[in-house]
Amino acid sequence: MELFDLTGRVAIVTGSSRGIGRAIAERLAEHGARVVISSRKAEACASVADELNTRHGPGTALAVPANISNKADLVALVERSRAEFGRISILICNAASNPYYGPMLGISDEAFRKVLENNVIANHWLVQLVAPEMCAARDGSIVLVSSIGGMLGSATIGAYCLSKAADMQLARNLAVEFGPHNVRVNCIAPGIIRTEFSRALWEDPAVEERVTGLCPLRRLGEPDEVAGIAVMLASRAGQYITGQTLVVDGGDTIV
């Protein structure tokens, strides 16, 4: 367990009131970290934090709602996290949005900006807020939750895929910058995971069967199967991994 022990570590996880983000927060807490639960809705954040505090003891989790498109919210998120828990050593940028479905020729400027701001620029803002203290302490792990969409072309979610490819390059750039300070930066690229975000692809059994038909594992992924990778990257088990994109897709991208 030493390789995965996160006792004494403080983690901020965005988009952690449900889905992949919640699974990551739950597993980080299970391995000893104190976790800041953040998403737009205060009630949802409080519910997850209360559950983790009940399960793992008071002081395990803190709810700090924030809108990732609002820089002031992110500043407040980091400041309160630091005030309540101390130095932040783990940052998981999981929150993202995809407000448009269709060809890129039809996307409005407003929707395009929203995708890039929420999925790339917000991550950059958060990194700017936490990386200096990580570098000063020579200790930190930053994980950007990307997508296999960033490795593939798409006729319907092109802007989203573009933003996720940008996250992969952001991780590589930051890994080069922060490596000399012993701060690691990586991406996780999930395939289709059974969450609300992907509901349209699994709520109809016929659609799910079609989607998984070519996947080597012949099934969708579960949030916990992404969470395990996040724990590894945040812990000593992943201390020699940086600038990488770890694909968690049941083999989708190899066929």
Per-state percent for the chain, helix, strand, coil, to nearest 5: 55, 15, 30
Burial of 44: CB neighbours in 10 Å, binned 0-12, 13-18, 19+: middle
Q: What secondary structure letter does DSSP report for 31?
A: T
Return the closest-CA partner of residue 197 out of 226, 238, 168.
Answer: 226
Q: Which residues are bridge partners to 93 per DSSP?
A: 144
160 counts as catalytic: yes
Tokens of 219: 């099934």
Distance of alpha carbon 108 from alpha carbon 92, whole angstroms: 29
Q: Are 145 and 190 in contact (CB under 8 A)?
A: yes
Q: How many CB atoms lie within 10 A of CB 244?
A: 17
Q: Which residues are bridge partners to 36 per DSSP?
A: 12, 62
Distance of alpha carbon 136 from alpha carbon 143, whole angstroms: 19
Which residues belong to the active site?
A: 160
